[in-house]
Each structure stands twice: as structure tokens, then as C-alpha cells.
Amino acid sequence: MKRRDDIAVWHEGQQVGMLWRSPSGMIGFRYHTSWIQEGGFALSRSLPINRLEYGPESSAAHRFFANLLPEGAVRERIVRDLKIPDTDFDLLLALGGECAGALSVGEMPPATSGYRRLDTDELERLIAYRGHVYTSLAERDRPRLSLAGAQDKIPVYLKDGTMYLSEGDAPSSHILKFESADFRNVILYEAFTMHLAHAVGLPVARVELKGSSQNRYLVVSRYDREVDNDGCIRRIHQEDFCQALGIDADAKYEEHGGPSFPDCLRLVQDMSTEPTTDVLLLLKWQAFNVLAGNSDGHAKNLSMLYGMDGAVRLAPFYDLVCTRAIARIDHRLALFVGGERDPGQVSRRHWEALARACDVRPGLVLDMVTDVAVGLEARLDDVFEQFARLPALQRVCHVVRTQLRRFSR
């Protein structure tokens, strides 16, 4: 098969630009002149439209598009199953038809060729094998999808309670996330933590826990999709904070050289059309992470959403998991609080230091943390009851109650 060294980028059937790779494998990007002439938007804060071309040597384009790809063991499995070279360009070529946000990467304008019903037997196989059979489908039946992250997941279209798989590059409306072979109950913990966040007033992606205790899966509504009254799906552009800041996915953690919480806050101030509201939401998200035991709140778990009305807002929160309830993983905070990485040691002085680093009044931050703590104290048992007081969730409740006692002291 002839090696491809260029590929088009599309938005709703219009060509945005062209990707190409250098002999060393680095990716460059060039905006299409018609996209600029017809008032197209910049794909990213890191790829402003006042510049036509971002060559491979700058790495800006490579970082943006590589951040659309799966990570870790999921990426390794996809490369193995699809029998393609393990390069960012080849993965985009194979998977880029259905990405996070509104962009598609492919040889021609994405053809919304329709959907086929996911029958019960096929769904059960997907659940049992955590979606692994998905990449082994015949090429003609396999949608081209690129969902970033390290969890097994597949996109589906959900209509009137029935699930459909996309054919070709048809957009999805939901994501199915599956249990991890390495970390038992992670799907249950995510569902519980997301519901807990909603209970204390955080805007989150809607999630629903499905399946049996042996084969659970999560149905996540895509906030980057809009379904009209006729059931047609429109893609909505977004970029995560690594893309907006022009950094590699490998640097999503602060201790690995990634952005700090103040860096993320300043990004929201710069990009949001309602910065005051979104800054407060971001502060509340960090307070929730510390108190609810989510140490994995990193830069790729934050995104900016480009609305149809031209507004740019902090996206609903996603991938919230009480990671401190999971053994054998790092419990240090992805984004430090006032220089402190251990969530069990975060105190008033650390929140005050964080406030000063963000140029925010310390009293406002302390009040925010207190409000989240009060909300968790009031709603924890209610959410636990919603999950039928499943024994596996006692670990999560213990983590939250321990954090609340530490904060009250």
C-alpha cells in the first residue's frame, strides 16, 4: 500500500485545511484559503488563523492533532488490531473520521452514510470484551473514530432507547465506556463521582450506568454534539486545555511539566466569553477534585467549547473519578493546590496560596471550598442511596468523608 503523506481536515463538509508529515514523522498544517476567505474560525488558540501555515518544525500542529488520539494501552491495542504503523499521522488517517469536537480528518468530505442497529448479542459482546472486538470488525463495517484518553470506549448513536453504530463517518451522540481489566469498579466509581459532582452543582456530562455487576458499562452523552428535532446530529467544535496551550498529551500532569492550575485559570480568563462565571466553575471543580478524591483532574480533562452562537465557554466536566478509592495508582494531585500534591495534606494555607497565584481573593476561594464541602456532606448519602448503597461504593464514601473531616479541622 502506498504511503500517504497528506490528508485533509474538514468541518461540516467544508475543507478547513491540509495535514502533511515530514520525513521525520512530524505533522504540519495549512489552512485552506477558502476557509479563511469565507470567515472560518481558528481551530485552536495555539493555531491562530492570522497565520496560514504551521510547519512540522514548529510542532504546534502536531501537538494539536496528536491530542485527538487515544493514549497508552488503548493506543497500542488499536495499532496492533488495525496493523498500522504506530505514528500519530497513521492513526489520524485510520481513525480521524469521528474525533472529539467538530473536526474530521479524511480524504474527502465526511459522508454521513447512516447507522446500523446494535443488536443485543453484539452489544453483549462489546461489553464482555470492553469494546476490543470493535477494532477487529471488517474495514467496511468499522467507523473511523478517534477518542482521546486511556480508557476503552466506543461512540454510538442513541435514539429512542436504541443504540446504533455509525457507518462511515456518521457522527455519534453518546460514548460507551467499559470496565478496565486493570482497575476493577472504575466505571462504577466514575458514574458515582459524576452524579456526586452534579449533586453539588457542577455542570457535568450526563452519564448512566448500565449492565450487570460483572459487565458494567457507562453511557455518556456527548456535550460536543447537538441533536435537532429531526434526530440529525451536528458536531460542535471544542479543544482540550493541552490543545489550547499547545502542549503534548504527555505533559497533561503538572509534575510532568504540564500546566498548573493558575495556568488553566488564566486560559479560561483569556478564552471564555463569560470569564467570571467560568473561573468560578473551574475553582469549584478543583475544590471538588480534592474533597471527592479525584486526583486525576489534569489538563486533558478540561475543554473549551465553541457554541453555535459564537460563545466560547468552559465545557461541562467529564472523566471525574474518585481515583483515591482505587488501589495501585498514583494518588497525588494532577494539578497542585498551592504547591501541595498530596490531597490529604491540603490545608487552608494551600488554598490561600493558590488564590494568590491566581490573582483571586483568598476569601472567595475558601468560601468556594467550604460550599463544596457543605454540599458533599449534605448530598453524599442521597447519591449513595441512588446507587442502591452498593458495597463497592463504600470505599468512595470513605475517601470523601475522610477528606471532609480533614477540611473541617
Any catalytic annotation for residue 359?
A: no
Q: Return the C-alpha cell found at 176.
A: 460507551
**Alpha carbon distance 402, 396 (integer Å):** 10
Contacts of 96 (CB under 8 A, 6+ apart): 7, 68, 103, 104, 105, 106, 144, 146
Burial status of residue 369 (CB atoms within 10 A of its CB: 0-12, 13-18, 19 or more): buried
**Whole-Å CA distances, 35 to 126, 162, 302:** 39, 37, 27
Contacts of 124 (CB under 8 A, 6+ apart): 215
**Alpha carbon distance 220, 116 (integer Å):** 19
The torsion angles phi and psi of 311, rounded to 5 degrees, stand at -75, 145
Q: Return the C-alpha cell found at 295.
A: 486526583
Q: Return the C-alpha cell found at 307.
A: 457554541
The torsion angles phi and psi of 6, rounded to 5 degrees, stand at -150, 155
SS3 20: strand
**Alpha carbon distance 192, 320 (integer Å):** 9
CA atoms within 13 A on the CB side of 187: 27
**Alpha carbon distance 223, 270 (integer Å):** 22
**Full DSSP string of 86-97:** SSHHHHHHHHTT
Q: Which of 152, 240, 296, 319 is catalytic?
A: 296
**Alpha carbon distance 169, 50 (integer Å):** 30
Burial status of residue 159 (CB atoms within 10 A of its CB: 0-12, 13-18, 19 or more): middle
Burial status of residue 123 (CB atoms within 10 A of its CB: 0-12, 13-18, 19 or more): middle
CA dihedral sign of residues 300, 301, 307, 310: negative
Residues tagged active-site: 296
